[in-house]
Amino acid sequence: MEIKFNKYRRIYFTLSGLLIIGSIIVLLIYGLKPGIDFTGGTIMELEYVGERPSSQSILSEIEEFGLGDVVIQQTGEKGVILRMKNINEDVHQQILDKLSGAEDIEAEGGMMIGIVKTDINEIRFESIGPVIGDELKSKTKIVILMALLSMIVYIALAFRRIQRPLRSWQYGVASVLALSHDILIPLGIFAVLGKFYGIEISIPIITALLAVLGYSINNTVVVFDRIRENLLRRGEEFEKIVDISLTETLSRQINTSLTTLFVAGAIFFFGGETLKYFALVLLLGIGAGTYSSIFLAGPILVFWRKFKK
Amino acid sequence: MFLCYKYIAMKRKTYIILLGIIILTFLAGNFAYPKYIKSVFPNFWDIDFKLGLDLQGGTHLLYQADLSNIDKDNYSSAMEGLRDVIERRVNMFGVAEPIVQTQESGDQYRLVVELAGIDDPAQAIKMIGETPFLEFREQKDEVETQTIIDKQKEIQDLNFEEVQLIENWELAFQDPYFKSTLLTGEYLEKAQIVFDQQTGTPLIGIQFNDEGSKIFEEITTRNVGKILAIYIDDVAISTPVVNEAIAGGSAQITGEFTVDEAKELARNLNAGALPVPIELISQQTVGPTLGKISLEESLKAGIIGLFLVILFLIIFYRVSGLLASFSLVIYVFVILALFKLIPVTLTLAGIGGFILSIGMAVDANILIFSRMKEELKKEQSFSVSLEEGFRRSWPSIRDGNITTLIVALILFGLGTSFIKGFAFTLIIGILVSMFSAIFITRNLLRLFVNTKLEEVKWLWK
């Protein structure tokens, strides 16, 4: 017995439509917050050996360097992360010296012998020039465009043999619609996260989005493959064939997503700071992708068929 | 009769393949984690994983070279000279396998320096950033030399505070033998390798510009019979003796050079003479503690992820799931062994891609098992269901993997280093998972054809 997926398609379309429109709206209003990978800038992660001073006192200590906006975030028990514009190595060292309460050991006659750094360790330092950021931005745009294009070409080729009752390009359009659903929703969530929690779009996040792209197409392809197979073997109504195909592939869709969600979840909870948002994109994107491959891709085809009649 | 024969032949083939799989698993597993086998065979092949800077700590520096003072034709030789000088400086930090590479991006010329596991990146940056400095130094007079040597003896066994109590203690930190002259790389027009006409040994011919020639003449005039030392970056490269005053600004540096050394020196002198100013435009430094934490956390995530997937497979697919878990573990061994063999420089992104591939690797098995279950529900025999399950799920497995592969290849071809690391492990993962999920799982399942267990339907449904 097949599950009547297509019966409730209005509900799915409305739900997904609202989510997509919501995502587009927050993207338009808040935009995405690009990280220093793309804008240039500095991230400096420090750990205090002794007591950690308040963010306010750190700010006032480094005020003299004229760094513009400095964002300070506390991590762990003794760590702080400083974000600011791109700085050169001299300023970097001066900031370190200042914050560590370093004293120059000067000999008579002003000759400097050495520096004693007392109470901070530098865990991580990244400073990226604006030129590199711009280059990366344009490079990333090309990668995203190429990936999207190749997926569309691939879908067109993969379904060129199904001509009845819909054209192969219509399958292509349906999978691209499902795909934009899977990409837009995580992006919308990151626009909100960026606005309220200062989470920035970094290279790992882009990488995860592109992985979601491949994954989402993969899920849709499995459903369409089954529809193709059933169309050749059965003579029933198109709507019924889509329902049968969705029912047959349902356990696979859920199970494959679950295993991938397990590993993405493991990375999110245990994999450390750098991979955290990478894993979050995967969780969101794969979740959305599984939903769309079951509730959107097939029903869109059925809707289109009815619409044409 | 014939059927029976065919069945035996197939079983035998399955056993041979299984033996191959067991050997592969044993080798790959022990190669990936040789701790246990090393206690039995101490000489077992042992290669370490290659860790990227983000996992072992280190610094990645990107310099922009300013070639505006250089002819277009000489760009690549200027960059080569720059690379050599910096490579030599970098080698002094005693870092294992430092990387110094020139890089072209559009019309920009850049230099990448990667120093793994370095203690003091600030010091390294300082030393790298200096333009190679060529300098001629003349001897100090004997009285002065003696004073300095005496002073050095005086402070030899004293600590820092005690030293400061001695009169004129700063003298002890000076070079006792040589002092700077006005003549530096600034005045050098060019240096090149020449050969002694009588002995054929390589020499370095240097030519000063007009101003340099005058200074050189003055210096040689007052130093006849003495040493005029040539220093690069404060290191004495050559200590020739001045035979006579030299006018015209051309000279030769003799020394015990091989041809290669002479070439290198000439090139370095040119680099010192033709300063290529460099500017640090990007720096990423990861402290060793953070690298270690990242590595541990990502490994932990991988193990937990693997465990969850195995648990799920066994609960949901019973015996088939158990067999798929074996394939998955073999998959992990083979991938880790490949990481060592190729070798792949493992970064956080790469490990992320690898962990993700563990979740995706079982996709093929899940597709196959779903089909098998469907066939079994139709009351097909076990062996027919098995082969049908594999046959009919193949188009989906192929199409699905191709889409992921296409995306991964584009990421690898066009991406930056983080994306590349991710894409590369994902590509290896997809290819190996096709092998493990289809070939290995299928042969493991074939073991159960025509056995008692085959009859126990709930194990498979």
Q: How many domains does chain A have?
A: 2
CA distances from B163 to B151, B159, B168, B368 (A): 10, 6, 10, 80
- Per residue in A208-219, pLDDT tens? 998 898 888 888
Closest C-alpha to B33, from B18, B23, B48: B48
Q: Note whether B283 and B115 are within 8 A (CB).
A: no
Can you tell me the distance from the alpha carbon of B349 to that of B429, in angstroms, rounded to the nearest whole number?
14
**Mean pLDDT of the A242-246 span:** 93
Same domain, A101 and A240: no
Q: Which of A41-50, B190-199, B332-341 has the lowest mean pLDDT?
A: B190-199
Evaluate if pTM is beyond 0.80: no
What share of chain B has pLDDT > 90, as a percent?
14
pLDDT at B272: 57
- Listed residues A83, A113, A128: the one ending a domain: A128
CATH of the domain at A82: 3.30.70.3400
pLDDT at B6: 67
What does R_g of chain A's alpha carbons equal in angstroms? 26
Same domain, A166 and A250: yes
Which domain does A193 fall in, by range? Answer: 5-36+131-308
Same domain, A83 and A112: yes
Q: Please tell me which of the candidates A127, A136, A262 has its beta carbon nearest to residue B309.
A: A262
Q: Which of A69-73, A251-255, B275-279, B444-448 has the lowest mean pLDDT?
A: B275-279
Same domain, A158 and A271: yes
- Helix or strand (DSSP H, E) at B176: none
B285 contacts on A by Cβ (under 8 Å): 122, 124-126
Copy the structure tokens of residue B443: 């042969």
**Contact between chains at A154 and B402 (C-beta distance less than 8 A):** yes
- Per residue in B237-265, pLDDT tens? 778 788 788 888 887 777 677 887 777 77
Secondary structure in 3-state letters for B222-258: HCCCCEEEEEECCEEEECCECCCCCCCCEEEECCCCC
pLDDT at A243: 93
Q: Note whether B113 and B137 are within 8 A (CB).
A: no
* Residue A73: alpha-carbon gap to chain centroid: 22
pLDDT at A3: 87
Number of cross-chain residue pairs from A and B with Cβ atoms under 8 Å apart: 219
CA distances from A250 to A243, B33, B332, B385 (A): 10, 38, 28, 19
Same domain, A124 and A148: no
pLDDT at B5: 66
B294 contacts on A by Cβ (under 8 Å): 272, 274
Q: Note whether A100 and A58 are within 8 A (CB).
A: no
Copy the structure tokens of residue A149: 């294009």
Residue A299: cis peptide before it, omega within 30 degrees of 0: no
Does the pLDDT at position A25 exceed 90? yes
Same domain, A224 and A285: yes
Can you tell me the distance from the alpha carbon of B46 to that of B210, in angstroms, rounded to the nearest whole number?
61
Closest residue of chain A to B363, computed from CA coordinates: A256
Can you tell me the distance from the alpha carbon of B313 to that of B324, in angstroms, rounded to the nearest whole number?
7
Q: Which of A304-308, B217-221, B366-370 has the lowest mean pLDDT?
A: A304-308
End-to-end Cα spacing for chain B: 31
Same domain, A145 and A78: no
Does the pLDDT at position A220 exceed 70? yes
- Per residue in A159-178, pLDDT tens? 777 667 788 788 888 888 99
**What angle (nearest 5°) sits at the alpha carbon of residue B455, between those of residues B452 and B458?**
125
Interface test with B, best of A92, A267, A273 (most B CBs within 10 A): A267
A146 touches chain B (CB under 8 A): yes
Confidence of residue B274 (pLDDT cuts 50, 70, 90): very low
DSSP states of A19-71: HHHHHHHHHHHT---B-HHHH-EEEEEEEESSPPPPHHHHHHHSGGG---S-E
Can you tell me the distance from the alpha carbon of B327 to that of B321, in angstroms, rounded to the nearest whole number?
10
pLDDT at A208: 92
**Mean pLDDT of the B259-276 span:** 67
Same domain, A204 and A303: yes
- Helix or strand (DSSP H, E) at B194: strand B188-195
The shortest C-alpha distance from A309 to chain B (Å) reads: 30
What is the average pLDDT value for chain B, to the nearest integer?
A: 83
B241 touches chain A (CB under 8 A): no
Choose between A94 and B158: higher pLDDT.
A94
**Mean pLDDT of the A188-194 span:** 95
Closest C-alpha to A162, from A224, A214, A218, A222: A224
B124 touches chain A (CB under 8 A): no
The predicted complex's ipTM stands at: 0.86
Q: Note whether B96 and B88 are within 8 A (CB).
A: no
Structural domains of chain B, with CATH = 2-52+287-459 (1.20.1640.10), 58-140+177-283 (3.30.1360.200)
Same domain, A209 and A116: no
The shortest C-alpha distance from B361 to chain A (Å) reads: 9
**Mean pLDDT of the B209-217 span:** 86
- Per residue in B40-60, pLDDT tens? 888 888 888 888 888 988 899
Q: Which of A55-69, B102-116, B176-190, B338-352 has the lowest mean pLDDT?
A: B176-190
Can you tell me the distance from the alpha carbon of A225 to that of A239, in angstroms, rounded to the nearest whole number?
15
pLDDT at B273: 47
pLDDT at B2: 52
Closest residue of chain B to A259, computed from CA coordinates: B359
pLDDT at A241: 92
pLDDT at B129: 67
pLDDT at A102: 59
**What angle (nearest 5°) sits at the alpha carbon of residue B223, between those of residues B218 and B228?**
100
What is the average pLDDT value for chain A, to the nearest integer?
A: 86
**Segment of B221-230, B291-300, B389-398 carrying the highest mean pLDDT:** B291-300
A272 contacts on B by Cβ (under 8 Å): 293-294, 297-298, 301, 348
What residues pair up with A163 in beta bridges, in sequence order? none
Same domain, A81 and A181: no
B348 contacts on A by Cβ (under 8 Å): 272, 274-275
A269 contacts on B by Cβ (under 8 Å): 301
pLDDT at B130: 62
**Interhelix angle B75-91/B259-273, nearest 10 degrees:** 110
Can you tell me the distance from the alpha carbon of B53 to that of B117, in angstroms, rounded to the nearest whole number?
8
- Per residue in B345-394, pLDDT tens? 898 889 999 998 888 888 888 888 888 888 888 888 888 888 898 998 88
The shortest C-alpha distance from A224 to chain B (Å) reads: 9
- Listed residues A106, A128, A150: the one ending a domain: A128
Question: How many residues make up chain B in this entry?
Answer: 461
Closest C-alpha to B397, from A150, A169, A176, A256: A256
Same domain, A104 and A161: no
**Mean pLDDT of the A78-96 span:** 88
Residue B270 CB partners (closer than 8 Å, separation 6+):
B81, B188, B190, B191
pLDDT at A281: 96
Does the pLDDT at position B3 exceed 60? no
Confidence of residue A299 (pLDDT cuts 50, 70, 90): very high
Same domain, A152 and A116: no
- Listed residues A128, A152, A169: the one ending a domain: A128
Confidence of residue A246 (pLDDT cuts 50, 70, 90): very high
Q: Look up residue B384 and give its amino acid.
A: V
Confidence of residue B301 (pLDDT cuts 50, 70, 90): very high
